Amino acid sequence: MSDQEIIEQLKQGSEAAFRKLVEGHQKLVVNTCFGLVHNREDAEDIAQDVFIEVYRSIQQFRADSKLSTWLYRISVNRSLNHIRDNKKHKWFQSFEKDVEARNRQILQVESSPTDHPGFEMENKQRAAILQEAINSLPENQKVAFSLNKYEDLSYQEISEVMEMSVSSVESLLFRAKKNLQKKLYKCYKKKCM
Amino acid sequence: MKCKAVHSKLIFFLERELPEPEMKAVQEHLAACPECALFAEEMKKTLSILETEKVSEVNPYFYTRVKAKLDRQSEIQPSGIRSSVLARVLQPVAFSIILILGIYGGVKMGATGAKTASTFTAEQEMVPYLNDMDVEPLETFLME
């Protein structure tokens, strides 16, 4: 079933078409959300809301852009809203809770079953450093970078999702990589990686 | 090429985005400088995490969860609409009524207060004392 057929049937309220849409685009949506929120459970929760939004607003969808572009846009917006909400909540979160959460994370890492615990630990640390560096990027750079890296989107595709010119996307990605390199170098100098 | 120049181009080198002569220059520098080679290796390992983090397998229960969430929200929605009507319309109306009553009560109380104030002047308040003095002179009072 093509995207066009799925949309047409979805507009008529077909549940089978909704199932096709979810199963066909689940990976795309979860990956996009994960690239921005860096937490598997949160990414799946946001992805569920993305599909619900698509189901509810399918009547407003016009064939101006591709279905995937629309899905990317909703996923990015929902993930950014989630990050903003989390930031607000962190203001009210006590320091003790923060420390507790960190300790729990470390315990999880230490108790995860693997053949190479040292290697696993190192990878988790690297992932945490990388996530922190990505999270510290300005919003637009972060979106462009995660679409490029997690979804392998071309500059042209990113420009369609972000509704900006290809040259702007090029410049965003260039600055994102420069900033990331700077942060990773600082971390390397401090011997944290 | 100096170490600083290599550091600023390393990420583009690892992504193979540099022009051919620059790629070659960085490559030669890394072969000769163990310090930069070590950083390049660390950076490569860290960036390779991006590949491993991608979602490779789909959650088999994902659709069921989306459907359940959708159904749950559809059930909640009618009462949600009612509560939003309550919040958006009835609450402001109730607050407005309380406010108007408060202002009206304040005005009424102020008016009665003003009336009593106008009837009791300072001069009138002194009159009983003066009259008392007329009736009972100080000498008589002391004599008693």
In this structure, is residue B82 part of a structural domain?
A: no
In this structure, is residue A121 part of a structural domain?
A: no
What is the average pLDDT across A142-168? 95
In this structure, is residue B115 part of a structural domain?
A: yes
What is the average pLDDT across A25-44? 92
In this structure, is residue B60 part of a structural domain?
A: no
In this structure, is residue A54 part of a structural domain?
A: yes
In this structure, is residue A156 part of a structural domain?
A: yes
What is the average pLDDT across A57-63? 84
Q: Are residues A150 and A81 in the same domain?
A: no
Query: Which of B38, B50, B64 is the best substitution to test chain A (most A C-beta atoms within 10 A)?
Result: B50
In this structure, is residue B73 part of a structural domain?
A: no
ipTM of this predicted structure: 0.74
Q: Are residues A141 and A88 in the same domain?
A: no
pLDDT for residue A169:
96
Q: What percent of chain A has pLDDT over 90?
A: 53
pLDDT for residue A124:
83
In this structure, is residue A39 part of a structural domain?
A: yes
What is the average pLDDT across A136-155? 94
Of A26, A55, A126, nearest to B62 by CB-CB distance is: A26
Domain that holds residue A56: 1-92
Domain that holds residue B13: 3-53
Tokens, residue A58: 């399918």
pLDDT for residue A87:
75
pLDDT for residue A186:
87
The highest-confidence range among A4-13, A69-78, B72-81, by mean pLDDT, is A69-78
Residue of A190 and B27 predicted with greater confidence: B27
pLDDT for residue A112:
47
In this structure, is residue A151 part of a structural domain?
A: yes
Burial of B111 (0-12, 13-18, 19+ CB in 10 A): exposed
What is the average pLDDT across A128-132? 89
pLDDT for residue A149:
92
Q: Are residues A14 and A81 in the same domain?
A: yes
In this structure, is residue A118 part of a structural domain?
A: no
Residue of B104 and A117 predicted with greater confidence: B104
Domain total of chain B: 2
Chain A's closest residue to B12, CA to CA, is A177
Q: Are residues B93 and B47 in the same domain?
A: no
Q: Are residues A86 and A5 in the same domain?
A: yes
CATH of the domain at A37: 1.10.1740.10
Domain total of chain A: 2
- Output the CA–CA distances (angstroms, integers) from residue A106 to A100, A101, A121, A124, B114, in the order listed: 10, 9, 9, 9, 73
What is the tens place of the pLDDT at every residue in A18-30? 999 999 999 999 9
Residues of chain B short of pLDDT 70, as ranges, are: 77-85, 113-137, 144
What is the average pLDDT across A23-39? 92
Q: Are residues B93 and B43 in the same domain?
A: no
Q: Are residues A6 and A58 in the same domain?
A: yes
| Distance in angstroms (rounded) separating the CA atoms of residues A111 and A2 | 45
Q: Determine whether the interchain pair A31/B54 forms a contact, defined as Cβ–Cβ distance below 8 Å.
A: yes
